[in-house]
Amino acid sequence: MVRHLIIGNSAAGITAAEILRRLDGRAGITVVSDEAEPAYSRCLLPDFLAGRKTGADLRIRPADFYAGNRIDRVSGRVLRVDPRSRQVLLENGGCLDYDRLLIATGARSAFPPVPGLSGPNVTGLRTLADARKIVQLAGNVRRVLVVGAGFVGLETAYALYNRGLEVTVVEKMPQILPGQFDATAAGILQRDMHAEGMRIILGAGIKEVLTPSGFLNFFNKSAQGVLLDNGDRLKADLIVVAAGIRPNVELVQDTGISTGRGITVDQFMRTSVPGVYAAGDVAETEDVVTGRVGLTPIWPNAVSQGKTAAWNMAGQPRPCSGSLGMQNAVEFREIPSIAMGITQGGDPGLEVVTAGQPGQNVYRKLVLRDNVIVGMILVGDISGAGVIGALIRKHADVRKFKDDILRGRFNYGYMLAEMRNAG
Amino acid sequence: MKSIMIDLDACNGCLTCTLACAAAHSRSGSIVGAMQEKTPARIFIEAVNGRAVPVTCRHCEEPACAEACMTGAMRKDSLTGLVSNEGHEQKCVGCWMCIMACPYGAVTAHPRERVALKCDGCPGLPQPACVAACPNRALRYEEPAFFAAGRSRDAACSAAQAS
Ligand SMILES: Cc1cc2nc3c(=O)[nH]c(=O)nc-3n(C[C@H](O)[C@H](O)[C@H](O)COP(=O)(O)OP(=O)(O)OC[C@H]3O[C@@H](n4cnc5c(N)ncnc54)[C@H](O)[C@@H]3O)c2cc1C
């Protein structure tokens, strides 16, 4: 009997466990994680913050999932992986043996090196425990400062705003959602946040967090808050840091398992050490568009990588289809929007075409290289986004359909009809 | 497992399938009732260069929509093979990750509610309502292997498969 050990009980880990069981009825499957809850969706934490969902509502599998699939759960924090003895060492002194190991430890909130950015009123939003802490604090505070206007920061801002708090978002870059949305799309979404009543400060970083006494010294007022690098000060009773993530790779340090920012894997999710696999936010994979190796820390990629890892751990070799960077900013009031792949032009080989009426919250953008779509932004109307995603993944030549795609008239029927004509 | 097969040459775009689909998913169960209730259809007839092309869910072997689903609501039933975001312990929140993932564009946003909408395969009926209603036999409910060769469906689908 093969013993599979999975570190991490979230998107990548739980998918791998489920598929391993499907592929091998007899294997031993153990999932160890340092969060006590049954697997839940981090993506729904903003709904929990806003009070729309309870902790139990966040679970991603039915209540009988672990027992029904004969998956053993171990609660505990893994300190180290030891590939030579094929064991992992737990913080509580215990250890677990494995034949094949999947590292699906995900990531944690990254905190920028700002003096004073710690303490009881400063937190990230990554875990249910973080969310519970924020909800608890939210009862006694008035002003919230969100550091970072990426996806998680803005969702947090909306959620806390909906709880009735005063929310300010501070972003170093000159636009919100600087990751994958361009200035036009960001402008549409930002206008919407302003209309709601949230404050957004762009192009400014946090220089220092001021304690009540520090604030008194600086400004002769008793309050807590922050000093921005442009000299402005802001009062804040609660600071939520949403300034990116850091993969949880510490447990493989000095083990021979190669790492960059995350754990390096090949297309079979194998690390540099035999028998050890990695998947999800902790893993570095090749991007289907750019060909570059890096993190693509989103839910669908974690699931798909967990699946690929499971097939290969079960001895049925199968490559991963490759990761595609995508962002889906839907919470932002009623304007759905999606970005995929390379969304900024600039490169001389890239062609950029846009359509829509940004003033009416509708915007479409395609980025192409030699008539192959390498990226897109859809704001307002996202129907059929996955069809375009498939064209990106397939590196399909779209010269015939470019205009239809841009105008939102394209659909899978075009491809069916093409095939019919060709066949 | 049987699935909905599309014979493009036989479809004349009469939209009967969309009406039957809406009726089957309405409270009243009738076409008129569905129109009154404004029940949306889950199968679409797209116009492609003057030709009618039915588009609906294939209930994929490895559904990209289910992989992208962040709540666990979208799932493939291991017994029936049907992929649906309804009737499970986990609920759809309308995050549209499935819309972003489906290479066929078969998942849409419900026009009024915050949930994703897709073909549920009409569980409980001997064959899906759209198939039963199609007057041209352009939609058929068959084992893929029995479906006439040269109908191009599988070539088209494999070309579009995301994976
Ligand atoms: C607020 C928020 C909103 C998000 N919204 C979206 C969204 O809308 N769409 C989207 O695609 N993505 C979203 N994401 C990102 C998405 O949640 C992640 O991509 C996904 O959770 C990654 O899954 P994973 O399995 O790789 O790792 P994680 O979900 O990070 O899970 C890691 C697991 O490993 C365990 N673990 C870690 N270290 C150890 C250790 N040393 N010992 C034992 N166990 C350990 C943890 O307990 C956990 O079970 C969001 C994230 C957040 C925080």
Domain ranges of chain B: 1-56+124-163, 58-118
Q: Please indicate whether, in this complex, the C-beta atoms of A44 and B102 are within 8 angstroms of each other.
A: no
Sign, CA torsion B118/B120/B125/B130: positive
Pocket of ligand 1 from Cβ distances under 6 Å: A 7-13, 32-35, 42-43, 45-46, 77-78, 104-107, 125-126, 152, 155, 248, 251, 280-282, 297-300, 302, 328; B 70
Q: Please indicate whether, in this complex, the C-beta atoms of B95 and A43 are within 8 angstroms of each other.
A: yes
**Residue B1: predicted pLDDT:** 76
Alpha carbons A264 and A250: distance in angstroms, whole number? 13
Residues A17, A23, A28: CA angle, nearest 5 degrees: 55
- For residue B151, is pLDDT > 60? no
Identify the domain containing residue A132 by its residue range: 122-241
The Cα of A201 is separated from the nearest Cα of chain B by a number of Å equal to 27
**Residue B158: predicted pLDDT:** 41
- For residue B152, is pLDDT > 50? no
Class of domain B58-118: alpha beta
- Cα(A43) to ligand 1 centroid in Å equals 8
B6–chain A Cβ distance below 8 A for any pair: yes
pLDDT band at B160 (very low <50, low <70, confident <90, very high): very low
pLDDT in tens, chain A (423 residues): 999 999 999 999 999 999 999 999 999 999 999 999 999 999 999 999 999 999 999 999 999 999 999 999 999 999 999 999 999 999 999 999 999 999 999 999 999 999 999 988 999 999 999 999 999 999 999 999 999 999 999 999 999 999 999 999 999 999 999 988 999 999 999 998 898 899 999 999 999 998 776 666 666 555 689 999 999 999 999 999 999 999 999 999 999 999 999 999 999 999 999 999 999 999 999 888 888 899 999 999 999 999 999 999 999 999 988 788 877 766 565 788 999 999 987 888 999 999 999 999 999 999 999 999 999 999 999 998 999 999 999 999 999 999 999 999 899 998 888 877 776
In a domain, A368, yes or no: yes
Question: For residue A14, which atom of ligand 1 is closest to its CA?
Answer: 25
Residues of chain A contacting B104 with CB distance shorter than 8 Å: 386-387, 412
| Count of domains for chain A | 3
3-state secondary structure of B34: helix
Provide the percentage of residues in chain A whose pLDDT is more than 90: 83
Looking at A218, A241, A264, which one is the last position of a domain? Answer: A241
| Arithmetic mean of pLDDT, B46-71 | 93
Residues of chain A contacting B76 with CB distance shorter than 8 Å: none
**Residue of A59, A389, A419 lying closest to B101 (CB–CB):** A389
Residues of chain B contacting A62 with CB distance shorter than 8 Å: 88-90
In a domain, A321, yes or no: no
Asked whether residue A390 falls in the same domain as residue A349, the answer is: yes
Question: For residue A279, which atom of ligand 1 is closest to its CA?
Answer: 26
pLDDT digits (tens, 9 = 90+) for B79-118: 999 999 999 999 999 999 999 999 999 999 999 999 999 9
In a domain, A333, yes or no: no
In a domain, A331, yes or no: no
Provide the percentage of residues in chain B whose pLDDT is more than 70: 88
**Residue A212: predicted pLDDT:** 72
- For residue B153, is pLDDT > 80? no
In a domain, A201, yes or no: yes
B94–chain A Cβ distance below 8 A for any pair: yes
B136–chain A Cβ distance below 8 A for any pair: no
**Residue B157: predicted pLDDT:** 45
Alpha carbons A398 and A405: distance in angstroms, whole number? 9
A408–chain B Cβ distance below 8 A for any pair: no
Asked whether residue A95 falls in the same domain as residue A129, the answer is: no
Atom 50 of ligand 1, residue of closest alpha carbon: A43
- For residue B135, is pLDDT > 80? yes
Architecture of domain B1-56+124-163: 2-Layer Sandwich (3.30)
B115–chain A Cβ distance below 8 A for any pair: no
- For residue B130, is pLDDT > 50? yes
In a domain, A117, yes or no: no
Atom 14 of ligand 1, residue of closest alpha carbon: A43
Q: Please indicate whether, in this complex, the C-beta atoms of A390 and B72 are within 8 angstroms of each other.
A: no
- Indicate which CATH number applies to the domain containing A192: 3.50.50.60
A209–chain B Cβ distance below 8 A for any pair: no
